[in-house]
Structure 1
């Protein structure tokens, strides 16, 4: 009996000893391998989290503000000194750069377009000696500013392509907002006793509307390409 117990005890001990590696293999990989796999999993998890939670980088918002102010100054200077065609000598010139406010509005944003038109009008009136506080600051400045604001609201290069249909719409918008602007400015000049209303409508329409109607759709595509090449990272319209 004792021999049988010893034999059975020895065989059970042998079974426990020989089955230990098998149990370890069934239990899973060694601690070092598990730690390595865990660390790798954490790295992968962290990578996934970093790629999914990263916020998109917004474009430069300062650029359109600065450029609109520069364009406003350039607009005023060009209107004052770069008008070779005299419609009424010494009084009304053909402002061939009247397309600048709507062009700036479309490319840089409606606020930028308004800044360009409003400040450009003030700079022009001061340089040309035609500054009338009530007229220039309120009527003329605001209405010319609208010629940059309205196209900037209606057209966004990031959301639409400048095909022929869009260019025709740009010309139509410039025509409509130009007529509204000229009518308001002419009414103000007539109220102040400077020019008769219809006389001002005719000459101011030739002075401002024609360059807007032709220049804006003609130059918007090359100007947009120049902006994209100058700022490949993009910018936020203002």
Structure 2
């Protein structure tokens, strides 16, 4: 569905699922030689956060209620801060952030379009669900990159201020109970596109059976965390 441009990667790398937020301490799964090179990792991670900032900015511009604008602005500000901190790390390494992000602009913009809803609440839910899943996934990837990865993990684990979005969604469903089933179905539909982005972030090659088995526990954890996010809003995944 989405094309990815990959760069040459170092010879050895291990991808580990790190324990954070909604992931259990017992989960430690390694992907052998599947993590992309560090430039790909940083470019994708930086552009994803910029995309969430842009989507939330569009919501702010079209939302009439001042209180709603303020709530959305907190989540937008958190995404922008994460983007800026990853960009600062890229520059610190002597690289050009624009050059690293550019290969992923088209596929990640397509992903944002595919997950934008017809109603503001659908788009809010899309940001909450997809950003949560991909923050988890890129946090898992970060274990492959030593100190650079550890710094990215700290950035991704910082407060995302998306609880304000959950509150707005809950308020909207209170005013219009029919939204509940619609948004629940929308939340479930988001999973497929989001997992495609996660799989596309890995080193590009045809996976063998052993590698598929290594990946399965990580994606199981991503889906479990997604179910908990949905449950916290009152949906079933």
TM-score (norm 2): 0.31
- Structure scoring higher RCO (CA < 8 A, sep ≥ 6) equals 2
More helix by share: 1
TM-score normalized with structure 1 length = 0.31
Structure number with bigger Rg: 1
